[in-house]
Structure 1
Amino acid sequence: MAKPMTSEIECGDCPIRHRAVCARCETDELETLEEIKYYRNYSAGQTICWAGDDMPFVASVVRGVSSLSQTLEDGRTQMVGLLLPSDFIGRPGRSRSPYDVVAVSDVTMCCFRRKPFEDLLGTTPAISERLLEMTMDELDAAREWMLILGRKTAREKIASLLTILARREASIGLAARGGTLSIDLPLTREAMADYLGLTLETVSRQISALKREGIIVLDGKRRVQVPDISRLVMETGDDMDGGMIA
């Protein structure tokens, strides 16, 4: 079971405030959300929900990273996405989860009871408009990920994943802006291999090559420093005029 939150986060102090589903809410709208929200904590490796489970809540990821996976009838499992801080889990109007959702690292979620949240969508345009915007961003990201998995080289895949993580952490203030970016790598190399459709050996070899060339600096097993984000982006194979989706 999810662990109770030891102390609540005030909306004004929330680290994802300007990117979450409540980003455009006024003070009175935030007060309404406060009435239906609660927090849940999950430890790394803990299942948040299984595919087909009833979900009585929708939520924003406040801290940590979760994986989205689907399992075939013969037991094969594919990781199909990651939920990063400020991402939204659950779909209004659908009570069951289509994916297995598992905490990759320790996760804190700001949850809203489903029915009251669905009612708010009809009376609070700021929430419904932001949710639509996030949904379109998620669609764009899914299309970009199809390109990463289908057409990019192993090196470009690794660089693309690191760029996505670096930009997201920078956007919510978890990584320093300008100069060296320092990010926590939420996935083990085994999980990265599974997510990117690569072997463990290939992932390790490509990370070592990026380190050797000074594009990244490894700080322990799960922390990566990026001295110059533009050099990393160049390794993604993307059109530099467009860039990756944050």
Structure 2
Amino acid sequence: MPATSQAIQISKDCSDCPIRYRAVCARCETDEMELLESMKYYRDFEAGQTIVWAGDELNFVASVVDGIASLSQTMEDGRRQMVGLLLPSDFLGRPGRTIASYDVTASTAVTLCCFRRGPFEQMMNTTPHIAQRLLEMTLDELDAAREWMLLLGRKTAREKIASLIAIIARRNAAIAQHDHRSAFTFELPMTREAMADYLGLTLETVSRQVSALKRDGVIELRGKREVTIPDFFRLMDETGDDADGGPLV
């Protein structure tokens, strides 16, 4: 039987947090966690709800505990382009910069673990573990942005769909501490409409390519959202990525 990613229960105790060992606090010691506890609070957003608009002041920074949010930019003529996704354990906000650079919208129901900006920035100056982990996450985000340039610019529709499923599957497996070398089942948190918008494809193309991946045995589907990856390495073959290029984050 494949392992399954279950819906998580959000604990207010940091020691039980599902993203504890991937988030910005991953390297923190007990006393540092207690300090973070004193400045944190949770915020929930419904699917489609705006978390922050570009140009608005963001008086907190946050880790995504559950759900997916999209980053997008709007041009003067109203055209919009999604430029990134925030997945569980990703970091929202930039220390030292209070103005949001992108529109951030909840693609699914989202729970954020928020930290008041002032105390968090002070803690960064005195706690190397926070600064080190944030640097690691920033470099991972840079790698992901480069991957996304390749995906949008060079990959076929099938490779784009496979890449997006692989990214989400890998993150779900990491949160669940599951070895992705064996079969894994998870809930795909994005509608096909959202996938089309994010990948620059039509809805019909997304549906056709998802069906093709299912028909070829690369993925298994139950209902609209439950996805099983029988063989993760076969899925990775479908992404078109260099096998020696390192893991997607």
Q: TM-score range by the shorter chain?
A: over 0.9
Aligned match for 2:86, one of 83, 86, 109: 83
Aligned match for 1:143, one of 136, 143, 146: 146
Aligned match for 1:160, one of 160, 163, 167: 163
* Structure 2 match to 1:72: 75
* TM-superposed deviation, 1:175: 5.9
* Structure 2 match to 1:204: 207
Q: Please, what is the CA RMSD of the aligned residues?
A: 1.5
* Structure 1 match to 2:31: 28
* TM-superposed deviation, 1:179: 2.5
Does structure 2 conserve the Cα–Cα contact (< 8 Å) formed by 1:233 and 1:243?
A: no
Q: Secondary structure of 1:109's partner?
A: strand
* TM-superposed deviation, 1:102: 0.8
Q: Does 1:181 align with 2:180?
A: no
Q: Does 1:237 align with 2:240?
A: yes
Q: How many residues align?
A: 241
Give CA deviations for 1:172-223 in whole Å, capped at 9, x if unaligned: 1176754321122121111111111111111111111000011101111112
Q: Structure 2: how far apart are the matches of 1:138 and 1:145?
A: 10
Aligned match for 2:63, one of 60, 63, 67: 60
Tell which has more relative contact order, 1 or 2 (C-alpha 8 A, sep 6+). 2
Does structure 2 conserve the Cα–Cα contact (< 8 Å) formed by 1:160 and 1:244?
A: no
Q: Secondary structure of 1:165's partner?
A: helix
Give the gaps of 5 or more residues in structure 1: 1-5
Q: Does 1:18 align with 2:21?
A: yes
Aligned match for 2:135, one of 132, 137, 143: 132
* Structure 2 match to 1:3: none
* Structure 2 match to 1:114: 117
Give CA deviations for 1:86-113 in whole Å, capped at 9, x if unaligned: 0000000110111111111111110000
Runs of 4+ with deviation above 3 angstroms:
174-178
* Structure 1 match to 2:221: 218
- Kindly tell me: are residues 232 and 152 of structure 1, through their superposed partners in 2, closer, same or farther at Cα, counting changes over 3 Å? same
Q: Structure 1: how far apart are the matches of 2:185 and 2:175?
A: 13
- Kindly tell me: are residues 8 and 224 of structure 1, through their superposed partners in 2, closer, same or farther at Cα, counting changes over 3 Å? closer
* Structure 2 match to 1:227: 230
Q: Secondary structure of 1:93's partner?
A: coil
Q: Structure 2: how far apart are the matches of 1:223 and 1:8?
A: 24
Q: Secondary structure of 2:26's partner?
A: coil
Q: Structure 2: how far apart are the matches of 1:68 and 1:30?
A: 28
The one-letter code of the counterpart of 1:145 is W
| % same residue | 68
